[in-house]
Amino acid sequence: MNTFSTDLINWQKKYGRHDLPWQKNIHAYSVWVSEIMLQQTQVATVINYYQRFIQRFPTVLDLANADEDSVFTHWAGLGYYQRARNLHRTSKIIVRQYDGIFPLCPDALVALPGIGKSTAHAICSIVGGHALPILDANAKRVIMRYHNMTEDPSSAAIKKTLWDLAQQHVPQQNCRQYTQGIMDLGAQVCTKKPHCDICPVQSGCKAHHFGDPEKIPLKQKRPKKPERFCYLVWYQYDDAFFMQKRPEKGIWANLWCPIEYTSRPNVPNAAKLVELPQLKHIFTHFILYISPMIIQVGHQSIDYMGKWVPREALQTLAVPAAVKKIQRHLI
Ligand code: SF4
C-alpha cells in the first residue's frame, strides 16, 4: 500500500465520519440514494432528507412502485429535481432488468440514468470493496493539491491525468475505508481553506510544500449568466391557493407552481393584491428574478388547468426550491 492511502485509511479510522445514516447496514440502495443526494448538496442538509426518503421508500422496489409526485414530494427542497427523476427511472430499471439487485459493475452502473463514473465507483467501492477511484469534488480537490496540479481541471487531458493519479492511490485492501477517507478528508480537512496542520497526508503534499493549496483547483472564469424576470401569482380564494403542475419539459418540469407570467398580470376588479419581496433565484444557466404576488379573488373560477390547495397542504406539494422559499410567507 502506498503512504498516501495508508495514512488516509489510518486517519479515517480515527477521525473520519462513521455515523452517517447511510453508513449503517451498508447496501447498494442506501449508498446510491445518499451519493445522488450528496451531489451539489452538503452532508448536513442531506441527512434529514435522506432519513425521510428512506423511511418512505425503504427498498428499491418501494421507490420503483411509487408515483413520481410522491418521489418529488420527498425530494422537495433539495433542488436539482433531475436527480429525483433519475433516481425514480433507475429504480424501475433495477427492478425490471436486475430483479431489484444493483449490479456492482461500473459499466452497468454508468449506463443507468444519473449515475456517472465517480458515483458508480463509489457504490462499487463502498458496497463491494472494489479497488476503484472516485473523483467527486472533495476527492478531486485532495488529489489536485497533493500533486500540486495548477492546470484547468476541466480540460480533457487533465481529467485523464486525474483519473490515472486517483487510480494509482487506490489500495488493494480496505477500499471502502479509503474511499470514505478521501471524501472525509476533502470535507473536513482539505477544504476551501485547508487545515494542513492536521492533515494526515501533509508530508507528501506538493501544494503544501511547493505551491499554494488555496489556488487549487484553478477557478474557471464563468461567463456572466443572463437574467430573466417573471411574476408568480398565488390566486387565493378563502384559505386555498391555486396551483398548477408544470409541463414535462422546461424549468421546474412536473413540479407544482403558482401561475407564472412573463409580464405584470392584470388584477381583477375587487380582487385584493398583496406583493411580496422579489426573489433572486440562480439556475445553472441563468438568473431568475421572481416577483411574487397574492391575488385574493371572490370565486374559484380560474382560466387555467390546476387545483385549489388548502393552505396547510401547500407544504406537502412537490414545489421548486424558489417557490418553497416564497411560500414561507403564506404558511
Ligand atoms: Fe490538502 Fe493541506 Fe492536506 Fe495538502 S496538506 S492535502 S493541501 S489539507
- Render pLDDT for 218-253 as a digit per residue (tens, 0 to 9): 988 888 999 999 999 999 999 999 999 999 888 898
Ligand 1 pocket mutation, candidates 146, 183, 193, criterion most atoms within 8 A of CB: 146
In this structure, which residue's CA is closest to atom 5 in ligand 1? Answer: 202
Lowest mean pLDDT of 90-94, 197-201, 265-269, name the range: 265-269
Cβ(216) – ligand 1 distance below 6 Å: no
Which pLDDT value is given to residue 298?
Answer: 87
Lowest mean pLDDT of 87-101, 275-289, 313-327, name the range: 313-327
Lowest mean pLDDT of 26-40, 222-236, 270-284, 296-310, name the range: 296-310
- Rounded Cα–Cα distance for residues 76 and 141 (Å): 29
Cβ(213) – ligand 1 distance below 6 Å: yes
Catalytic annotation on 35? Answer: yes
Cβ(141) – ligand 1 distance below 6 Å: no
pLDDT digits (tens, 9 = 90+) for 165-187: 999 999 999 999 999 999 999 99
The alpha carbon of 32 and the centre of ligand 1 are apart by a number of angstroms equal to 28
- Rounded Cα–Cα distance for residues 320 and 145 (Å): 36
- Contacts made by residues 33-42, CB under 8 angstroms, sequence distance 24+: 33/87, 35/119, 35/122, 35/123, 36/83, 36/86, 36/87, 36/114, 36/115, 36/119, 37/78, 37/83, 38/136, 39/80, 39/83, 39/119, 39/136, 40/79, 40/80, 41/78, 41/79, 41/80
Of 50, 201, 183, 86, nearest to 126 (Cα)?
183
pLDDT mean over 76-97:
93
Of the pLDDT bands very low, low, confident and very high (cuts 50, 70, 90), residue 1 is: low
pTM, rounded to two decimals = 0.86
Contact (CB, 8 A) for 133 and 161: no
pLDDT digits (tens, 9 = 90+) for 108-141: 999 999 999 999 999 999 999 999 999 999 999 9
Q: What percent of the chain has pLDDT over 70?
A: 100
Cβ(189) – ligand 1 distance below 6 Å: yes
Which pLDDT value is given to residue 243?
Answer: 96
Which pLDDT value is given to residue 186?
Answer: 97
Ligand 1 pocket mutation, candidates 199, 214, 216, criterion most atoms within 8 A of CB: 199
Cβ(196) – ligand 1 distance below 6 Å: yes
269: pLDDT strictly greater than 90: no
Which DSSP category does 193 fall into? Answer: S
